[in-house]
Amino acid sequence: MSSTDILNLQSILDFIRSEYSGRDFIGLHEPLLDESDEEAVRACVRSTFVSSAGQHIGEFEREIEAWTGTKHAIATVNGTEALCLALLLAGVRAGDEIITQAATFAGTGNAVWRAGGRPAFVDVERSTLGMNPDALAAYLEEHAEFRGEETINASTGRRIAAVVPMHTFGHACRIAAIVDICNRYRIAVVEDAAESLGSYAHGKHTGTFGLLGILSFNGNKVITTGGGGMVLTDDDDLAARAKHLSTTARIAHCYEFVHDEPGFNMRMPNLNAALGMAQMKKLPKLIEAQRSLAAKYREFFRKAPWEFVDEPEGTQSNFWLNAVLMKDRAERDAFLEVSNSQKVMTRALWRPLHLLPMFSEDPRGDLPVTMDLYDRIVNIPSTIGGKI
């Protein structure tokens, strides 16, 4: 690498340090926790209702419903469990095929596996980083056929039960086009909106386009409950079933313990929901601060030899994680090495799922954009703590 290239990489670090002056270590995305969060948790502890019974769970669900515009939000222990539950609610059975993108966090594939399905991978697009509707349509045209009421992959013999697109780094994919394609093939859409609380596509919140969607409130998300997730749906019956299945399938009774089917212990604890309620009060300012930081990065990279990953046209992103595209894999790796060695946390795109051993034998279409993005994307610090 030339001395000019090294100077260019160092200029990024100098700019990042100017945004986080006084910090010895600059994290990728740290939560903003303050006295209001501490007091909310203390009050919950004092109430003794810290597990899966307590008023904050329902309150937090109502807050998310109001924010996203969905009819029902069902709180879970984390986003992966929320996605697993959503797939089961969508009717996924053992051995079914679930079409998703390889450019995603392992939790997406793990949820498919936990629900009894097997993934099939289609490519993403550069403009959104999310599932490419054209790649999805091409895959279905090549492989899908109707057998009675079911859509079958003629190559594998598996029923295609659901499509799971993800809104990567908080940027909305072309979700309306994906839903239209899936409607033609009678396939349920389950949106992985884990990273996109506060993101919109053409004025509609992510996670609310498909039959079901999910959110995550992990420690590094825009708001956090420590660990937590949420299932979103407008379907009354699915919402009721989500609460039943996620609460060990127990029939409500004041003293009897009767369970009418195998269930799951997936409900969010009240302690986590109390933190979520305190965090929700800050959400508008948090998103404003995320977008303000992204604007500064956008301006800096306009004059630099790298491409800033901006929000797609017609969308509004929460800019959960900011990202830039390097020239190639060598430049990506060089920047990752120098930045992390200087205590500026950066990371590469997740290793695509089809390259992981547990998913390497699963079917896939051509993935040229996925691999190009993997070779070149770098996530840069997106913490906004202390900036609101």
What pLDDT is recorded for position 8?
76
What pLDDT is recorded for position 388?
52
All CATH 3.40.640.10 domain ranges in the chain, comma separated: 35-280
35-280: CATH class: alpha beta
Give Dmax over CA atoms of the chain in angstroms: 73
pLDDT per residue as tens digits for the range 293-311:
999 999 999 988 899 999 9
Place of tokens 């089961």: 88
pLDDT per residue as tens digits for the range 88-133:
999 999 999 999 999 999 999 999 999 999 999 999 999 999 999 9
Distance of CA 16 to the CA centre of its chain: 25
What pLDDT is recorded for position 1?
54
Question: Which CATH superfamily hosts domain 3-31+283-380?
Answer: Aspartate Aminotransferase, domain 1 (3.90.1150.10)
Of residues 59 and 303, which shows the higher confidence score?
59
Beta strands in the chain (DSSP E): 72-76, 97-101, 118-122, 144-147, 150-153, 160-164, 188-192, 200-201, 204-205, 212-216, 229-233, 307-308, 315-316, 322-325, 347-348, 377-380
pLDDT per residue as tens digits for the range 121-180:
999 999 999 999 999 999 999 999 999 999 999 999 999 999 999 999 999 999 999 999
The pLDDT of residue 385 is above 90: no
pLDDT per residue as tens digits for the range 210-250:
999 999 999 999 999 999 999 999 999 999 999 999 999 99
The pLDDT of residue 352 is above 60: yes
The pLDDT of residue 4 is above 60: no
Single out the residue of 381, 388, 280, 386 nearest to residue 321, CA to CA: 381
- Half-sphere exposure of 357 toward its Cβ, with a 13 Å CA cutoff? 0
Q: Region 328-338: what's the mean pLDDT?
A: 95
What pLDDT is recorded for position 254?
86
What pLDDT is recorded for position 10?
87
The pLDDT of residue 386 is above 80: no
Single out the residue of 68, 4, 6 nearest to residue 335, CA to CA: 6
What's the alpha-carbon Rg for the chain, to the nearest Å?
A: 21
Single out the residue of 145, 141, 125 nearest to residue 133, CA to CA: 125
Place of tokens 């770098």: 378
Min mean pLDDT across 10-24, 125-139, 332-346, 359-373 is at 10-24
All CATH 3.90.1150.10 domain ranges in the chain, comma separated: 3-31+283-380
Single out the residue of 215, 234, 115 nearest to residue 166, CA to CA: 215
Per-residue pLDDT band for 7 (boundaries 50, 70, 90) equals: low
